A and B are shown apart, each in its own frame.
Chain A
Amino acid sequence: MAFAVRLEGLDKRFGRGAREVHAVRDLSLEIGEREFFTFVGPSGCGKTTTLRMIAGLETPTAGRIWFGDTDVTALPPQQRDIAMVFQDVALFPYMTVRQNIGYPLRITGLPRARIDEKVEKVAATLGLSDKLAMKPGQLSGGQQQRVAIGRAIIKEPKVLLMDEPLSALDARLRVEMRTEILRLHREISSTIIYVTHDQVEAMTMSTRVAVMDQGRALQIAPPRTIFRRPADVTVATFVGTPPMNIIPATVVTTPGGMVIELLGQQIPVVPSHHGALQGLSRVEVGIRPQSIRLARPNPDRMPGRVFLREPLGLEDEVLVEAADGTRVKVVTAAGEEFPEGSVVGLEFGLLDIHLFDGESKDAICHGIG
């Protein structure tokens, strides 16, 4: 595959001795031409450090960075074909919007008329045409972020880096800008590398996502795969709202075949999965709250008592407590059925169950039907 950026055993440590922080650990991946690639993870997971190494703002402790066939590891940011949008916008406060957007071209020494022409084109794309004479301080947060994006795309960089560009905006504007950035991705030829802690942003915008934790990439895959086949418990609970229920269970071999004992209930495992479960006893079962249905109690359904019911509008989030005290979150249609305190049975399909190793927390299989 033609790739735009390749990371090879990338490693970054800050500080020394006892205060050393191992920010990125042995990260290797390839990002294709014109991809929208997102690093997502909690704060401190190493995603921003990785992006800054790709930008040339941090020097890796070990490993190499390739742009196409060129090793750029030792090159400063000025000599990499990149542009970057910063979390704190980082517009030049005493320059006008026009000067801010045109700044990368001014560096190249392009004639003034050509710069103006390009600035006006970019401003039109971003809906900033009437703001060109203003200073950043006179603009709203969303407009400022548009200017920052304009400054980044005017050079038509090979790689466009975005470090949590939407985190400073309010929720409504964030959704709006998400669409805007997606539209830009379709229009420009740059490869976009995006960093966010917001899994919804990552899932909705990206062609591929790297879920990071403690300096490692736990899974690198398209959003749908991350959602449907999470590589381990951390990925499974990080992606999706509310988070996936993770319930401890045991694998037991009975005369009738292999079963999983879950909350006092026995779930048979189809023979095709026996191999994967061979030798395991402690496992963790993952079920998304949306995959569980509340029903009247009956012997085939997992029994529980409604502990808390939170109306969210169209849907309710219901917390159900099982006999042993385990709490299971269920998302169900809004309604008066099964109020707090009522006894219910939980129903779910075997295809919606994810099995994780109880020790390593890695995924064993997705769906046991």
Chain B
Amino acid sequence: MSRLQRSGPLALLLVVLVLVAFPFYWMLLTSVTPREALFKPPYRLFRLDFSLGNYRELLFATEFVRYFANSLIAAVGAIVLNVVAATLAGYGLTRFAFPGKKTFAFGTLFSYMFPPMLMAIPLYILFSALQMRNTYTGLILAHMAISLPLNIWLMWQYFQIVPLSLEEAAWTSGASRLAALRQVCLPAARPGILSVAIFSFALSWNDFTFAFILQTDRKMFTLPVGLASFVEQTGVHWGMVMAAAVLVSVPTFLLVFFLQRYLLSGLRTAG
């Protein structure tokens, strides 16, 4: 391959990289720039007036930590419940015959097509009656209502490529159905399970609609709602908002950073 042919795609990648990475860089830079310096010309791509003042203000003068904890609880809850429910449902759909199975499987996929807003209002009414507004359970269930259908469908697909003979080999080796599921089926479906976990996390972590409508108590705000309230409350303190944005992206970054190795190794064994 000539040097020109190789450098073509490389240049393209470089352009895309800049487009994708620049907002992150700007976010990081703004978050460590003191408020006074932010709107003082000249505006440069590199600044040296480094300060953690925005972070200090965010962590100690606002409810940020509480919002963060709320978001984390909702996300972890959504991950755990989604993984358990989607794994068992996917296993059941591939390994057992029951009437209406196909309809059920396509029904779950169909229900994923509803926009969140369509469900938010009925859920508001329902959870009001059940006194589940402003609770973690309510929020987690609402997030599951959106993510679970796709997760079930995903695990259903995944278990279809785990050969039944693997389990049969476990059974004829003396393993019970549950032991075979745990020791043989789940490891083989691990990439699928990790996809479910990441998707559930991303959906819950980024959700604005449900959190905004269901969590009316300030104490129960999640990050997206809390961040929005920063913008309304105090004019826009961009340095602090960017500091919050940095901290919000940390868990997502960590999750993908650590799980991508499993995801890739999972893809390798499956391929």
A104 touches B174 (CB 8 A): yes
A-B contact pairs, 19 of them (CB 8 A): A57-B168, A57-B172, A77-B168, A78-B174, A82-B172, A90-B165, A90-B166, A90-B169, A92-B169, A92-B183, A94-B187, A103-B175, A103-B183, A104-B173, A107-B175, A107-B179, A108-B174, A155-B173, A161-B172
**Quick one: given A92-B184, A94-B269, are A103 and B173 in contact (CB under 8 Å)?**
yes
Q: How far is the CA of A349 from the CA of B66 in the complex (A)?
A: 99
Chain B neighbourhood of A56, CB < 8 A: 171-172
B184 → chain A, closest Cβ, in Å?
Answer: 6
B171 touches A76 (CB 8 A): yes
A86 touches B169 (CB 8 A): yes
Task: With A56-B171, A77-B168, A88-B163 given, name 7 new contacts (CB 8 A).
Answer: A55-B172, A56-B172, A87-B165, A93-B269, A94-B269, A103-B170, A137-B269
A56 → chain B, closest Cβ, in Å?
Answer: 8
Residue of A nearest to B187 (CB): A94
| B176 interfacial contact with A, CB 8 Å | yes
| Beta-carbon contacts under 8 Å, A44-91 to B | 55-57, 76-78, 82-84, 86-88, 90-91
Measured as residues with beta carbon below 8 angstroms from the partner, the interface class of chain B is 10 to 19
Q: How far is the CA of A83 from the CA of B166 in the complex (A)?
A: 13
Chain A neighbourhood of B163, CB < 8 A: 88, 90
Residue of B nearest to A84 (CB): B172
Q: How far is the CA of A88 from the CA of B166 in the complex (A)?
A: 9
Chain B residues engaging chain A, CB cutoff 8 angstroms: 163, 165-166, 168-176, 179, 183-184, 187-188, 269
B166 touches A155 (CB 8 A): no
Chain A neighbourhood of B176, CB < 8 A: 78
Measured as residues with beta carbon below 8 angstroms from the partner, the interface class of chain A is 20 to 34
Chain B neighbourhood of A151, CB < 8 A: 169, 173
A104 → chain B, closest Cβ, in Å?
Answer: 4
Leading 10 A-B pairs by shortest Cβ distance: A104-B173, A90-B165, A84-B172, A90-B169, A107-B174, A77-B171, A86-B165, A77-B172, A94-B187, A107-B175
Chain A neighbourhood of B174, CB < 8 A: 78, 104, 107-108, 155
A94 touches B172 (CB 8 A): no
Q: How far is the CA of A107 from the CA of B176 in the complex (A)?
A: 9
Residue of B nearest to A80 (CB): B172
Q: Chain B at the A interface: mostly helix, strand, loop or mixed? A: helix
A217 → chain B, closest Cβ, in Å?
Answer: 24
Chain A neighbourhood of B172, CB < 8 A: 55-57, 77, 82-84, 161
Residue of A nearest to B184 (CB): A92
Chain A residues engaging chain B, CB cutoff 8 angstroms: 55-57, 76-78, 82-84, 86-88, 90-94, 103-104, 107-108, 137, 148, 151, 155, 161
A57 touches B171 (CB 8 A): yes
Chain B neighbourhood of A84, CB < 8 A: 168-169, 172
Residue of A nearest to B266 (CB): A94
Chain A neighbourhood of B183, CB < 8 A: 92, 103
Residue of A nearest to B165 (CB): A90
Chain A neighbourhood of B187, CB < 8 A: 92, 94
Chain B neighbourhood of A83, CB < 8 A: 172-173
Q: How far is the CA of A92 from the CA of B168 in the complex (A)?
A: 11
Chain B neighbourhood of A91, CB < 8 A: 169
Residue of B nearest to A154 (CB): B173
Residue of B nearest to A52 (CB): B168
A108 → chain B, closest Cβ, in Å?
Answer: 7
Q: How far is the CA of A161 from the CA of B163 in the complex (A)?
A: 19
A364 → chain B, closest Cβ, in Å?
Answer: 43
